[in-house]
Amino acid sequence: MKSKLRIGNGYDVHLLAPGLRLVLGGIELSHTKGCVAHSDGDVVIHALCDALLGALSLGDIGHHFPDTAPEFKGIDSKILLERSYKLVLEKGYKLVNADITILLQRPKMAPYIEEMRKSLAQTLSKVDIRYSCDIEDISIKATTTEGAGFVGREEGVAVYAVVLTEKICE
């Protein structure tokens, strides 16, 4: 790979259903609905994994962690994030920063944003201490869709993630 900098983009959607856990950005939120999923349904982490994999042309999360595989049933998505970032490091690149946008009608995300940023930064830092990630490197924003579409009807949650990675100079 010639370029010192590489950008990646990720997008994921999960449906919401009553009585399930709502896990976003590595933390559990208090809500009446949660994501329908094979894993813990952490749609924030899934979009971030796809962005990281995309930056290095490594395919997508479904390719590396198929939702048909029993080993990934109910899995903590933080493990998927660690494994995705490990693949990035193995390619000789590290994360510069990530910018994530959550589309969700309810609950209000503001009280959870800092904890999510911290959780993601900690998870990424665990992979290799030499390339630890600061909370300032992880941006999380949230918006409703003003009631429009599947997000507005509280049928689902969508997440966009963009990352920048840079070649590790040894």
Q: Which residues bind Mg ion (CB under 5 A)?
A: 12, 46
Shortest Cβ 24–Mg ion spacing (Å): 12
CB nearer Mg ion, residue 12 or residue 137: 12
Q: Spell out the residues 6+ positions from residue 67 whose beta carbon is closer than 8 angstroms to its own.
A: 37, 38, 39
Q: Which is nearer to Mg ion, 5 or 36 (CB)?
A: 36
- In this chain, which residue has its C-beta nearest to Mg ion? 46
Nearer to Mg ion, 47 or 93 (CB): 47
CB 46 within 8 A of CB 10: yes
Contact by Cβ (8 Å): 96, 51:
no
Distance between CA atoms of 145 and 166, rounded to whole angstroms?
33
Would residue 115 be called left, alpha or beta, if left means φ above 0 and alpha means ψ between -120 and 50 degrees?
alpha
CB of 46 to Mg ion, least distance (A): 4
Name the minimum Å distance from CB 127 to Mg ion.
Answer: 20
Taking a C-beta distance cutoff of 8 angstroms, is the pair 56, 91 a contact?
Answer: yes
Contact in structure between 99 and 162 (CB atoms under 8 Å): yes
Return the number of the residue (38 or 126) whose C-beta is nearest Mg ion.
38
**Shortest Cβ distance from residue 140 to Mg ion (Å)?**
17
Q: Is 119 helix (H, G, I), strand (E, B) or coil?
A: helix
Would you say 46 or 117 has its CB closer to Mg ion? 46
Least Å from the CB of residue 28 to Mg ion: 17
